[in-house]
Amino acid sequence: MITLTVLTDKPKSPFYNQLLGKVDDQILHLQDASGKFLLDKVHEANMNYYIRNVADKPWNNHMLFAMFIYADKNSDVHTIKTTLDRLNARLKDLFNIFHLKEMIDLDIEVHLYQYLKKTIYQEHSDDMRAKFLKNYRSVSYQTKKWITSKISNEQQIYFQQYLFPMPTYDSRDFLFIKSAKEQAQNTRKSETDVIVPLLPKIRAEGHFRWNQFNRLRQAFFKACEQAKTTNQLPLEFHYDEPERVGERFYFRLWDKPSFVLNHKDQFPASTLKAAYKRTGAYLEENNNYFVEFIKAERLKDDEEVEALWFMELLEKRVIGQWYKNLSDDEIQKKRELLYSWGYGEENSSKKSEPFNSTHKGIISPSVFVSRNKDKAEGILFDVEPLYAGVTFGLLALDIFTTTGARLNELLQISYTKECLKSIKADNKLHHSFYAIPKGRDEVELFYISDQTMKLIAKVVKLLKYHYCSEKIPHVKYAHKRKHLFPVPKPYLFQYYNKAIKDNAVLSSLRLLLHGLDFETQEGKVVTVKPHLLRHAFATEAVQRQKLPIDIVAKILHQRDIGVTGYYSEPTPTQVAQSVSDLHDIISDYVDLDEAVLRNPEELEKEIELYKEKVGVFNNVLGGACVTDFVCPIKMECVGCHAKIPQPEKKHELIHFIDWNQKSEEYYDSKGLKVEVKKLRSARKKARNELKEIELIEKYREEEKYEPHIQFDK
């Protein structure tokens, strides 16, 4: 039972003194069964929101009580924040329009009902009303449930005054709520339908673009070395892209003093003097190289030049906080441009910042380049911030599309043996990472492919170069649920000694994939987002690969299968039967490498466990299996979404297609039409996998391409 006794002890939270005397003392000193104050369990982000927005409102005790209960239930930090925000906003609306003073004046059967019936605030969308009712009912239910199960009858009587009363009506009483829900689902469905069949191409394009930027970066490094040797700037250089691209790129290398001294008419005398003498901002330790993109030209034909895909963003100047120092008219034009690309909302007054990472050194240019980009003939940019963006973006894209992981799970990956693990079985390394899924307290396993490990190696290499060290710094976790990760770690998603948050990942993903044309059947532009990729992963698995919903829920690490969209987890009997069926198929099980040192009894238990987890430690046709669950599709590996096609196994698919065609002829001659259809379906899936392998082969080949850098005199 929860205790209210508070004689000598008090919460350790830094917010305690701010709340003392301003909220109900009994709420403020609530403790859980172990004696821990509930205030100490609330995340600082939610407490900051409460202090700024709720503490002085008539409903402050109701909201504080609800927040404590959600924190005690270990609810997601973002979920709590969203719930508080929606309730707070709508309560302010109701109190304003009905001139209410205290919570006792609020009659939900009258005031809230009128809001939901649209007699007030007609300008509010159906979605706003629907979400408010959903959150309100959820808070009312959860708080009522908590006090009846956690505290004594006497205490329940006291805290009844701080419950949000449950309305007699629900969402079924309002047609618009069903309409709003269906509209949201249809939007998500139509966007997902666009993305699902293109996942292999999106992954491949991400690799092609990273390769292209890496070639630019290597050319930039060579130009920097040449400049140091000749001590002459600016330095013009060009190089040819591989045949697939078929273009030649021209650049000019600068540093800060050379740029100022070659644009004398655009700088004041004091700046020219500092640049000439290399003092102040132009000291050697403050100096840095950057490039100016001059032009691109076709090499063998007269097709339209494409150049580097991100040049459009630099040319239109929408990187970072693009709206600074612009007139209202200029802001509106850029807002319309961003909307035409799928960023932001039409006719919205909000300033969409799709390429503002809010993290130092990622995407956004240096102060010097940002201030002086108008003075250049071509397009000025810093190489390293953009390279960091595309590198982080590529790893995120790969993990989102091959594991269905959430953003917060991605950001937990650290360069430690506790997080990243490789096990050798059957003379092959199998890789995984451990992260705490949403709503949990313990780490769970995510299997990843060799390709993902190669991308992790690229990020590690980037960080070591950035820090000029063989060690990656330990930094504090910065995303949601920080209380679960109090100890600093060498997180992969970090830069400038700070862990990356969601904005940096979202911006990096947008940068990497900008310009890829995705449209719904209604003509709406679709932009790739982490959660959309997660939906696409799940849709591909369920609708096209026919994986059972309960298995998909496990792959996605979803505790509530209702969130996945369907029913309950399989019963122990069903699982046991599935394992029994598999024993008839498996002729041998994996033999863990002898380097894995365990005592015989422990090793025997480990092997028995892996007998049931077929995929991860067995070779599969044409690729690598990345699920550790009982095989969901009866070992029909061709086309399975839990498999990543591998070029090294291309011959297996070619052989399968040849066998498949011969088998079709046999079954067709016997009049077995159903078997013929099965074979044709499997052959189509195999050919799709071959196409994906061909894309992988192409971008792997381009990784080895080294352009010849030529310096122009």
pLDDT at 14 over 50: yes
Place of tokens 């096609």: 645
pLDDT 10s digits, 45-75:
899 999 999 999 999 999 999 999 999 888 8
Q: Give yes or no for residue 391 having a pLDDT over 90.
A: yes
* Contact criterion met (CB below 8 Å) for 545 and 639: yes
Q: What is the mean predicted confidence (pLDDT) over 195-206?
A: 85
State residue 65's pLDDT score.
95
| DSSP class of 245 | T
Cα separation, 232 vs 249, in Å, equals 21
Spatial distance between the Cα atoms of 713 and 711, rounded to a whole number of angstroms: 7
pLDDT band at 287 (very low <50, low <70, confident <90, very high): very high
CA dist., res. 220 & res. 255, Å (int): 12
Highest mean pLDDT among 12-16, 664-668, 702-706: 12-16
User: Where are the chain's structural domains?
Assistant: 16-173, 198-384
Q: List pLDDT tens digits, range 332-347.
A: 889 889 988 888 776 5
Q: What confidence score (pLDDT) does residue 590 get?
A: 27
Q: Given a cut of 90, is residue 711 above it in pLDDT? A: no
Which pLDDT does position 292 carry in this prediction? 97
Contact 685, 540 (CB under 8 A): no
- Tokens 């780490």 belong to residue: 443
Q: With bands split at pLDDT 50, 70 and 90, how would you rate the model's confidence at 349?
A: low
Q: Both ends of the chain: CA-CA distance in Å? A: 81
Percent of the chain with pLDDT over 90: 44
C-alpha–C-alpha distance, residues 259 and 372, integer Å: 9
Can you tell me which residue has the tokens 């010849």?
708
Q: What's the pLDDT at 713?
A: 65
194-203, 416-425, 434-443, 656-665: least confident range: 656-665
Q: Average pLDDT, stretch 284-304?
A: 92
Token pair 């505290």: residue: 151
Over range 380-387, report the average pLDDT. Answer: 97
Task: Residue 607: name the closest of 624, 625, 586, 622 by CA.
Answer: 586
| E strand map for 559-691 | 623-625, 643-645
Q: Among 518-532, 552-566, 568-582, where is mean pLDDT lowest?
A: 568-582
Element (H, E) at 237: strand 235-240
Angle at 52 between CA 46 and CA 56, to 5 degrees: 115
Q: What is the reported pLDDT for 185?
A: 65
Q: At 644, is the pLDDT very low, low, confident or very high (cuts 50, 70, 90)?
A: low
Nearest to 656 by CA among 671, 672, 637, 674: 637
What three-state secondary structure class fits 617? Answer: coil
